[in-house]
Structure 1
Amino acid sequence: MLAAHLRRTAPGGEDRHSRPTVMVLAFEGWNDAGGAASTAVRTVAQAFGAELVEKLTDEEYYDFQFSRPKIGRTPAGREIIWPSTSILRASPASGEFDLLFVHGVEPSFRWRAYTAELLTKAAEHQVAAVVLVGALLADVPHTRPIPASFSSEDAEIQELLDIDEPTYEGPVGIVGVLAHTAFQAGIPSLSLWAAVPHYVGQAPSPKAQLALMRKLEELLGVPLDPEQAEEISEDAAAWERGVDDLAEEDAEIADYVKRLEEATDTTNLPEASGDAIAEEFERYLRRRKPPEN
C-alpha cells in the first residue's frame, strides 16, 4: 500500500521501473533513549546486507569534547574513529523498497547545514520518503509491551497508514528537525518513536529495540531475520528479568512499577476514560515523597 502510493507520487509516476527508495534514519544522542533507535536501525541495516555508500565527515558539525573520537584497532592497525554519519544502501529481494540507512551521532553545530546536506543526499538517491526513528524516556512499565508508534505531518500518509499527526510541542532533537524539514521540502516523512521506561533508560534497551524493529518490519513489508529476531527477543527477556530482580531489591521501585502497570492496564481497557487516567495520576502524586532540597 505504501509502496504503491510512493510510486504514484514520486517523480516519474506509475511508469517508474525502479522500486521506491525509503531513507531510514536514527542518531545517537538526545533522541536515542537506551540506544534503542540507533541500535535498531544498525541491526536492520546489517540484516539486509546494507553496504556503505558514503559518509558525512565535516568536523564543523561536532564538538569533540562532547562527541569524542574513539581509538580502535582495524585491519590496517590502530586508528582514530571520528564522529560521522554513515549512509548505507540495501535492496532486499523480498521487499517493495530499496532502502537507505542513515545512522551517526547527533551533530553539535550547524544543524541547518547538516539537515540540508542530508536532504540533498536524499534527492541524489531519489528518496521517495524518509522514516525518522527515535526513542524517548517515558512513564511506562518495563513489564508491559514497549509502546512504539508512527506519526506524520503528511495528511495523505496519515490517511493511508491510519496514523496521527504529531502533537508534541517543545525542544526537539535532530530527528524532529529532519522530519519537519523533509515534510516542508515535499518529501513524505514519518516519525517512529518508542517509549523507554525512564527508570531503566541506560543502554542497552533490547525490548525497545525489538519494538522499533517490528514496526519497521510492518512498515517496510520485509520480514526480519528469524534467528536475529529470536536472539534479540531472548536479550529482551533477559533484560526484563534483570530489571525484575532489581525492583525486588527496592520496595519503592517495586511499588512504582506496580502503579505504572495499573495505569497502563487501565488505559488499555476499552472502558478506560480520561477521568480514570487522571484519577490514577492523582493517586501517584499523593503517594510520591516530596523531593529533598
Structure 2
Amino acid sequence: MSAERLVHILDEVPGLEGLDELTMVVALDGFLDAGSSAALAAQHLSAISDGGSVVATFDVDQFHDYRARRPAVTFQRDHYESYDAPRLVVRLLRDAGDDPYLLLHGPEPDNRWEAFCRAVREVVERLGVTRVVSVGSVPMAVPHTRPIAVTHHANDVRLISGVNPWQGELRVPSSAQALLEIRLGEWGRDALGFVAHIPHYLAQLDYPRASVILLEHVERSGRLTLDLTDLRAAADDRESEIARYLSANEEVGDIVASLERQYDSFAQAEESGSSLLAEDQPIPTGEEIGQQFEQFLAGLEDDGKDTGDEPEEDR
C-alpha cells in the first residue's frame, strides 16, 4: 500500500509558501508517554493556537489495535453515542511570534511502523518540513524533588544540543518514533528528539512538569517561541498536590527520601569522577515501592477528584 493511501494531505496549505525552515513536532501518546507528558504537550500546543488547522490525516484503521486500546463510547440510557474515535493527524499551528510549525499527534501506531514512516516521509516532503522534533517520556527510579533529566537523541550528531545522563550503549524496547528517526536519517532528513525521565511512581498520572521541560527543549531546537504559562501553572498545581500528600503520609515520604539519597549520591559520584554507582545508600525494594505507591496513586487521584485540580485530557 502506498503512502498516499495511508495519509491524506491537503493539496494546498496556505501560509507555508516560501519558507526556508519548517519544524514538525511529533508527540505520540502510548508507549513512550509516561506521565502523559507527550499528550499534555500536544494538547497545550494545540490549545494555544486555537486548534490550528488539520493539514494531513492518517488512516488510523491501518495502524491502531482497537482490542489493545479500546476507544471510549458513551451509552446514553438505551443507545450508544459519542464514540471517541482515535485520530492521528498533522496540524498547522503558529507560535507566539506567528511563525508556522506542524504538530503530528495522536496514538502511537500499534503496527505497520515501516508503512507509517513512509507516510510521514510523504508529509515531510510534500509540506517542506526541514526538521522533525519528537518528544517522549519514560519512567525511571528518580525522585520528583530533583531536576528532570532529559535524554537527547538525533540522527545526526550535529543536532545534539546537550549531554545525556549516561554514556555508552543501551538496548531498550523500540517505538514508532524511534524507527521514524532512523528512517528519516536514511532518507537524508533531520530528526531529533527528547525523552524526559519521569519518577516511576508518577508515571500513571498526568505530569505537566515534564511537558514543560520537553517543550522548552522543543523551543530551542525547533527555533520556536511558545507560551507555556498555562502549562507551568498546571505543573505547579500538581507539585502542590504531591507535596500535600507527602506531608500527610510519612511512609510514602520515606520512600521518596530514599530515592533522593540514591539520586544525590549518584550525582556526587559522577561529579567527582570516582564512580557511577552510589555507595552505601539504601534504595527501596521493588516490593516497598509497589506497596507504598499504590496508595500514593490512589491518594492523589482521590485528592484530584475532591479539589478539581486534576487536569482534564482533551483527546
Runs of 4+ off more than 6 Å: 289-292
Partner of 1:9: none
Question: Partner residue of 1:278?
Answer: 277
| Structure 2 partner of 1:241 | 240
Q: Could you say if the C-alpha distance between residues 98 and 238 of structure 1 is closer, same or farther in structure 2, counting changes exceeding 3 Å?
A: closer
For 1:209 and 1:61, locate their aligned partners in 2 and report how far apart those are by CA, in whole Å: 25
Separation of aligned partners in 1, 2:132 and 2:278: 39
Aligned counterpart, 1:261: 260
Residue of structure 2 equivalent to 1:87: 90
Correspondence for 1:7: none
CA RMSD across the alignment: 3.1
Q: In 1, distance between residues paired with 2:48 and 2:72?
A: 25
Instruction: Rate the CA distance shift 1:89–1:245 in 2: closer, same or farther, 3 A.
Output: same
Q: d(CA) in 2 for partners of 1:271 and 1:22?
A: 35
Partner of 1:211: 213
Task: Provide the rounded CA distance (Å) in 1 between the counterparts of 2:253 and 2:191.
Answer: 39
Distance 1:250 1:61 in 2: 43
| Corresponding letter in the other structure for 1:36 | S
Q: Is the 8 A contact 1:150 1:192 kept in 2?
A: yes
Gaps of 5+ in 2: 1-16, 76-80, 291-315
Select between 254-263 and 108-117 the one with higher mean Cα deviation. Answer: 254-263
Contact 1:68 1:82 in 2 (8 A): no
What TM-score do you get using the length of structure 1 for normalisation?
0.78
State the distance in 1 between where 2:260 and 2:27 align: 29
Distance 1:249 1:98, change over 3 A: same
> 2:266 touches 2:277 (CA, 8 Å); kept in 1?
no
Give the match for residue 41 of structure 2: 40
CA contact (8 A) 1:26 1:104 kept: yes
Tell me if the contact between 2:153 and 2:192 (Cα under 8 Å) persists in the aligned partners. yes
| Separation (CA, whole Å) in 2 of partners of 1:92 and 1:67 | 32
Q: Is the 8 A contact 1:20 1:128 kept in 2?
A: yes
Instruction: Tell me: CA distance 1:90–1:112, structure 2 relative to 1, closer, same or farther (3 Å).
Output: same
Query: Once the two structures are aligned, what percentage of the paired residues are identical?
Result: 24
In structure 1, stretches of 5+ residues that fail to align are: 1-15
Q: Distance in 2 between matches of 1:62 and 1:137?
A: 24
Query: What is the CA-CA distance between 1:17 and the residue it aligns to?
Result: 4.4
In structure 2, relative to structure 1, the CA distance for the partners of 1:265 and 1:163 (3 Å cut) is: closer
* 1:133-186 CA-partner distances (Å, limit 9, x unpaired): 10110122112232234221302323xx35569944221121211111211221
Greater mean alpha carbon deviation, residues 269-278 or residues 238-247: 269-278
Number of aligned residue pairs: give it. Answer: 266
Q: CA deviation at 1:39?
A: 1.4
Structure-to-structure mapping, 1:161-172, within 5 angstroms:
161-162=161-162, 167-172=169-174
**How far apart, CA to CA, are the structure 2 residues paired with 1:220 and 1:166?**
27
* C-alpha separation in 2, matches of 1:55 and 1:162: 33
- Give the corresponding residue for 1:12: none
Note the 1:95-174 alignment, pairs <5 A: 98-158=100-160, 161-162=161-162, 167-174=169-176
Give 1:289 deviation, angstroms: 7.4
How many Å separate the matches in 2 of 1:182 and 1:18? 20
Distance 1:289 1:250, change over 3 A: farther
2:297 corresponding residue in structure 1? none
